[in-house]
Amino acid sequence: MSHSDELLAQVAALPALPGVYRYYDAEGGVLYVGKARNLKKRVSSYFQKNHGGTRIGHMIGKIARLDTTVVRSEAEALLLENNLIKSLAPRYNILFRDDKSYPYLKITGAPDKVGFAGNGQAGHSAAVFPRVAYYRGAVDRKHRYFGPYPSAWAVKESIQLLQKVFRLRTCEDTVFANRTRPCLLYQIKRCSGPCVNLVAPEDYRHDVHNAEAFLRGEAHAVLQELERRMMDHADKLEFEQAAELRNRMSALSKVLHQQSVETSSDKDADILAVKVQGGKACVNLAMVRGGRHLGDRAYFPSHVEDATALQGFDDSADAAPAQPVEVQVLEAFIAQHYIGAAPPAALITSHPVGRDLVEALSQQTGVKIGAVHNPREQRRLWLEMAQQNADIQLARLLAEEGSQQARTRALVDALDLAPDNLDTFRIECFDISHTAGEATQASCVVFHRHQMQNREYRRYNIDGITPGDDYAAMRQVLSRRYAKLAQSGRDTPDATPPEEEAPAPQEEIPVLVAEPAVAAEATADSPAAKKPGGGGSALRLPDLVLVDGGRGQVSMAREVFAELGLDLSVIVGVEKGEGRKVGLEELVFADGREKASLGRDSAALMLVAQIRDEAHRFAITGMRARRARIRVGGSSLEEIPGIGAKKRARLLQRFGGVRGVAAASVEDIATVEGVSRELAEQIYRALH
């Protein structure tokens, strides 16, 4: 393999110091990020040997540019390396998806203000009676946060527990301030009724204090405090209050028994178990907070095979023993996951991790962190449970991928196709959605590498047609989608379809409805769509173009492809069967073949139905959002400086909607409460 003299000279001039290096390809894409005790020795080893057709050789052959950063220590190199891996997403590094959006349990208010009004007197105020709530986002000092928790369910389960034992309120402050009688939660003994002064601020303060202590893992201290208060009430012959505290102690003891909280040495810990099989890996993270096991979450890294081959080479370059792939995956997760986040003091791991990594984390957080890979007693039980879950999650992933490949193969065989590579087989599916011709939108969803590629989904606003003309809408979207491909006159393998030409940003619109099924649906202008490997890098006709419809839609698609000079054999229509029943769909071909009925239990039909349904879902959610924007005027009023929620509501109520506001004169708008003459003129200009 050959490299430029400039690159080789740069390698020869590297210092023999610790640092981090980055390899780039000719297009500027990041290939690999690595760290080294000795930059000169490590980087030179890549260019001094003949690596043949190995993964390392394949990567080295692409290197066109090199960047290095010298650091003071290996710990700094480790932290910088993983910061760069997270931000640059290199092709040959083990990469975990950045998923730091963990939920927290929040108790409102600062500790020194709990139970007292602002003037030092007890009072009926939301600030006097803090609420417990589910929270996700950035934390601040105004409130107290506990967590993070691995899932929303874990937070809500903890809130229910606090309601049951400590009876803290969960209602919003506005609801709290306007209640005149206790709610249902008070009736079922899940709230102490602070909204109507059924609990003294001092008693509520004790409940909040005990709830916080319980969340910190001081459950036994909480039991002792409850017992002390119970005896005080009994001594004063306040037997109802004593019985109430006895019931709380009983409920808390039952919780502790159910959750097997038997140790006070592990208040906060993360349990990490890794499983590697079939070129895939799973890291299962279980969280223990306050001595309670809160649940777990599975993570699946990418680039495992390529990265482990290169990391093994890196180890040998510094004469260090090659690490098992499980250790490499686990260390990559720890380094990336805890960057910018505070890890607990105890990490319990299924495999031993490097001391340098743990020390680097300790330096970063300022907290002494310990890692144990051969635990005993309760820790061993936690680790065994995490390991079992990692095994199960990875087996599920492999089974799903196997079934997805089988469905792709079934469809290819059913349609008598012969793709060059089944793994790069690409399907694009189109659907039209509108309501009586209003807010017509077309959707394009992409199936590639055996799964839906939601980052490549696109929506198209359809204008300039007769309302309700689905055929014209299909003609327009197909023409816009493939015109650039036809003009290019080239067909590059394994590439992403054409993007809309500027000025089309307003036509391919961003996602308007966020749903679990589509985590990140990008627009044509988004960085995800234009980064190397993510879209927009080359033009290619899909192996299959599905249109939701029968002969009419297929005929329209045929006309478009004929005009553009594209292959008609890739067009297939999905025609609903008798009674529009699922499983009776038939496939209609644009190249003159007879209609095909695959059968209700066909894996190929299941795949076609899945893609068709996803296109329909994506189109209809966009259409509904666009229709709402048209009918209500979207955020056009809110975008006017000086118009907040209250003034907007008054305007809409007075004139019956945005169209009514637009039809009103400046004088009429100025009669609305809170709207000055100057603001009325500004509103009038904005809407005209």
Together in a domain, 558 and 673: no
CA gap 406, 450 in Å, rounded: 9
Whether the pLDDT of residue 260 is over 50: the answer is no
The per-residue pLDDT of the chain, averaged, comes to 79
The answer as to whether 162 is a domain residue is: no
> Is residue 239 scored above 50 in pLDDT?
yes
Q: Are residues 525 and 667 in the same domain?
A: no
Q: Are residues 579 and 445 in the same domain?
A: yes
Highest mean pLDDT of the ranges 16-20, 253-257, 463-467: 16-20
Q: Which residue has the higher pLDDT, 263 or 314?
A: 314
- In-domain check, residue 599: yes
CATH code: domain of residue 482: 3.30.420.340
Q: What are phi and psi of 105, to 5 degrees?
A: -100, 125
Highest mean pLDDT among 219-223, 387-391, 523-527: 387-391
Regarding whether 639 and 607 lie in a shared domain, the answer is no
Please report which confidence band the pLDDT of residue 349 belongs to, taking 50, 70 and 90 as the band edges.
very high
Stretch 366-385: mean pLDDT? 87
Question: Do residues 275 and 385 both lie within one domain?
Answer: yes
Angle between helices 377-414 and 603-632 (to 10 degrees): 100
pLDDT value for 86: 83
Q: State which of 609, 627, 645 marks the end of a domain.
A: 627
User: If pLDDT is split at 50, 70 and 90, which confidence band does 530 have?
Assistant: very low
Q: What per-residue confidence (pLDDT) applies to 321?
A: 58
Residue type, position 196, single letter? V
Among 114-123, 529-538, 568-577, 588-597, which stretch is predicted with the lowest mean pLDDT? 529-538
Q: Per-residue pLDDT averaged across 356-382, rounded?
A: 85
Confidence of residue 54 (pLDDT cuts 50, 70, 90): low
Same-domain check for residues 613 and 651: no
134-155 pLDDT, tens digit each: 988 777 778 888 877 888 888 8
For residues 679 and 608, state if they share a domain: no
Segments in 524-674 forming alpha helices (H): 527-530, 551-564, 603-632, 645-655, 658-663, 666-670
User: Confidence class of residue 638 from pLDDT cuts 50, 70 and 90?
Assistant: low
Adjacent-strand bridge partners of 438: 435
State the average pLDDT over residues 502-508: 35
Q: For 407-452, how does the pLDDT look when each residue is reduced to its tens digit (9 = 90+)?
A: 898 899 888 888 878 888 999 999 998 776 667 889 999 999 888 9
Specify the CATH number for the domain of residue 56.
3.40.1440.10
pLDDT of residue 580: 64
Share of the chain above pLDDT 90, in %: 19
- The Cα-based distances of 16 to 13, 43, 371, 592 in angstroms read 9, 10, 31, 68
What is the CA 308 to chain-centroid distance, rounded?
26
Residue 603 lies in a domain: yes
**Residues 594 and 646 grouped into a single domain:** no
- The whole-number pLDDT of residue 652 equals 80
> Which pLDDT does position 212 carry in this prediction?
87
Q: Residue 520: its pLDDT value, please?
A: 34
Does the pLDDT of residue 645 top 80, yes or no?
no
pLDDT score at 468: 83
Q: What is the pLDDT of residue 513?
A: 32
Task: Look at residue 539 in the predicted model and tell me its pLDDT.
Answer: 63
| 437 and 508 within one domain | yes
pLDDT tens, 10-53?
999 999 998 999 999 988 889 999 888 889 988 888 887 766 66
Q: Which residue has the tokens 């002494």?
A: 368
Q: Is residue 144 part of a domain?
A: no
Residue 209 counted as domain residue: no
pLDDT for 282: 93
Average pLDDT over residues 477-490: 83
Average pLDDT over residues 522-549: 57
Do residues 506 and 374 share a domain? Answer: no
Same domain, 480 and 534: yes
- Residue 558: pLDDT band with limits 50, 70, 90: very high
- Could you tell me which of 277, 125, 109, 243 has the C-alpha nearest to residue 194? 125
Residue finishing a domain among 48, 66, 88: 88
pLDDT at 476 over 90: yes
Position 113 in a domain: no
CA dist 78 and 363 (Å) reads 12
Highest mean pLDDT out of 61-65, 364-368, 427-431, 550-554: 427-431
Instruction: Please check whether residue 351 is in contact with residue 373, taking contact to mean a CB–CB distance below 8 angstroms.
Output: yes
SS3 370: strand
- Residue 247 in any domain: the answer is no
Spatial distance between the Cα atoms of 511 and 523, rounded to a whole number of angstroms: 7
Q: Where residue 281 sits, what CATH number does that domain have? A: 3.30.420
Please state the domain count of the chain: 4
* pLDDT of 562: 92
Closest CA to 285 of 102, 446, 41: 102
User: Could you tell me whether strands 438-448 and 426-435 are parallel, antiparallel, or unpaired per DSSP bridges?
Assistant: antiparallel
Greatest extent of the chain over all pairs of C-alpha atoms, in Å: 94
The single-letter code of the amino acid at 508 is E
Angle at 154 between CA 150 and CA 158, to 5 degrees: 135
Cα 82 from chain centroid (whole Å): 20
Percent of the chain topping pLDDT 70: 81
Higher per-residue confidence, 69 vs 54: 69
Residue 467 counted as domain residue:
yes
Torsion over CA: 156, 161, 167, 168 (sign): negative
**83 shares its domain with 34:** yes
The tokens for 532 are: 């190397």
What pLDDT, on a 0 to 100 scale, did the predictor assign at position 312? Answer: 59
The residue segments making up the domain with residue 499 are 417-627
Contact criterion met (CB below 8 Å) for 539 and 481: no
